[in-house]
Amino acid sequence: MENPVSRGNVDWEITRQTIGRIQEINPAFTSDNCLIGGSAAWFYRTLLEKENDPDFPAVAYTPEEEAIWYSQDVDFIGTKRENYPSELQTEPEGSPPIVRINGVWVDTPDEGLFLTRNEASKTAVEAENPITGNSFQIASPILLYREKKTLLQEKNRPQDILHLKTFRQASKLLLCKLAEDATLNQKQAGLLFKLLKEAENIAPELLEDNQLFMRLSHQMEHLEKSPRTRATYHLLKNQILKIHKL
């Protein structure tokens, strides 16, 4: 039996290694499932640090906050829990039974109010695992932000407040980076449109940010010119930016 990784020790490097091992076992798993929870928070925290954007920097945490910023497992949404042993070719351990990959607990929660299998797949963000070169999916930071905000009304877990800050900042960064990229392919352009609609529908407060408004406004000319982003241009012009001006 593999030695379990201690609660609170699942950082981004361990998460990447776990994803890599899953891709070796069943490459389709990371295409059919989206990374969520603390693991997704690690992904977006790392993204913010890497981008080092002056308007949307990585959230600074105190040593006390770092001590409670933890992930106890690697969570996905998509495959149902009862299918994990067959999908991951791993015998469950303990009671209640859990699945471990290289000692890391891999799990899926019940569907939330906003975070469902169907909704997560619609606006999933794709990234490449440098360990394997294969891609995997992460639930959008907007969806994770809205779900975390709802959970905080029911539970008072201190790490959730920290994750919420990261999801909020990453949501605005991702919208800007996609809108500012003049080389978007059709899939990426579609994702930008869907993310803006998602924010408009479930987290409109994210769109009230002044820096986000300015940066999106500055991209209107090139968004209008490209057939791939023209729908986004009209969404911004007629709804999102128009409401912000009011």
Our measurement of the distance from residue 117's CA atom to the centroid of its chain's CA atoms, rounded to an integer in Å, reads 13
What is the torsional sign of CA 7, 158, 50, 218? positive
Q: Is the pTM of this model over 0.85?
A: yes
Q: What pLDDT score was predicted for residue 244? A: 64
Phi/psi at 184 (nearest 5 deg)? -60, 135
Q: Which among 127, 126, 125 has a CA at the least distance from the CA of 141?
A: 125
Three-state DSSP at 125 gives strand
Cis peptide, bond prior to residue 85, ω within 30 of zero: no
Q: Can you list the residues of the chain whose pLDDT is less than 70?
A: 1-8, 243-246
Q: Kind and range of the H or E element at 104?
A: strand 104-107
C-alpha distance across the termini of the chain, in Å: 61
138 strand-pairing partners? 35, 125
Do residues 123 and 195 lie in contact, with contact meaning Cβ atoms separated by under 8 Å? Answer: yes
CA distance 75 to 136: 13
Indicate the pairing of strand 99-101 with strand 74-77.
Answer: unpaired
Tokens of 136: 């995997």
Domain boundaries, the chain: 12-245
Q: Using the 8-state DSSP alphabet, how is residue 54 labeled?
A: S
Check residue 7 and give its pLDDT. Answer: 45
* Amino acid at site 87: E
- pLDDT at residue 154, as a whole number: 86
Q: Contact, 241 vs 213, CB < 8 A?
A: yes
